Structures are given as structure tokens and as C-alpha cells.
A = this chain, B = another copy of it.
Amino acid sequence: MNKIGYPLGSGPAFTAVHGNPSGRGAALEKDINDSNVWYRETGRALIYKKPTPIQVVNVDYPKRSRARITEAYYRTPSTTDYNGVYRGKYIDFEAKETRNATSFPLSMIHPHQIKHLEQVKRHGGIGFFIIRFIRQDKTFLVDAPCLIEKIRETEHSSIPLSWFTEHGVPLQEGLYPRLAYLQAVDALYFKEVE
């Protein structure tokens, strides 16, 4: 029994509702969540992380206290982790971080996430990935259709860091917001509007 309660001991309290039972992605996730709070509070965008889907099997109803779930399991999310609205547009993205030094393992992206982001594009929404190389301390925002095309083309099981340097927008870490990813969204998707 893990009294702290995080899947594979992945982090502090804010990750109690997180998207990755394996524990990977927790630091990037915190950066994005903090940025989303800042973006919401400054009225810039309305973007949330979706709760982790959990399958509830047993619930206990003690008298005079709230329902207690006593058996439940993590489910595989059917979509991406984040969505919302920015400058009138539907925004949808997935964030992943890897400890691999020189390439991003494609096994980290699920087929249903690819399918979902293709549908986002088809319906007129904006879809992208935020990919972090932890050891290099580099984070990129990449257009979803662009990365998906690369995934379809490649015969390898990973995509080199150099591809992200070429096709992604590097994200700067700061204080407010923690990760200014909407700057990259402006640059990629709202260029003609500026």
C-alpha cells in the first residue's frame, strides 16, 4: 500500500488528478497546469487539463460522511489531456516528456490520440503536441498534423531531437506563465491575424 497514493510515486498533491498513471510527464504537466491557471486568471485563454479517467468498481457510503471509493482502476484516456478555447478557437493538445537524450519514442503517443487530433483539425480546431526532452531541458510545441505526418512517414520507432528543432517552436520557461506556450500558438496559428 502506497500511503501517498500517486501511481508509481510520481509527485506531490497537484498530481492527484493527473493524466499519466506511469508517472512520466508530471513536471511538464505541472508547468502546463500552472500556465493554464495564469492564462485563465489574466483572461487570456480558457484551457483545462481533463481529469484522469477512472473506472469505479466499489463505493462505500458511510453514514454522515461522503461516499468513499474503495476499488477503482485507471483507464486509458480516449482523447488528449488538454482542451479549451483561445481567441475564439478550439484548442486541443497532448503533452509528453521523455528522458531519452536524442530522440522521442513514438510509443509515447497512442493511436487514439493521433486519430483524435486528426479529427480536431477536420472540425476546424487547433491541435498540437508539447514535447519535452528532460535531459536537454528543451521543450517544443509542434503542430499535430505536422508530427502525425512524420509519424506516418518514418520507419523508426522514435523521432530525433533535431527534427523537433527544425519543425517545432521552442518554448521558453519563465515565471508567469511558467511555460508561455500561447506565444507559440500565436506564431503558428494566428500569424495572419497579428
Contact = CB atoms under 8 A, between A and B. Distances in A.
A89 B86 contact: no
A153 interface: no
Interface string A1-37: 1110111100000001100010000000000000000
Interface of A: 1-3, 5-8, 16-17, 21, 40, 43, 45-46, 48, 50-61, 66-75, 77-79, 83-92, 116, 119-120, 122-125
Contacts of A72: 54, 68-69, 72
Contact of A88 (B1, B48, B90): B90
Contacts of A123: 45-46, 85-88
B88 A5 contact: no
Contacts of A43: 119, 122
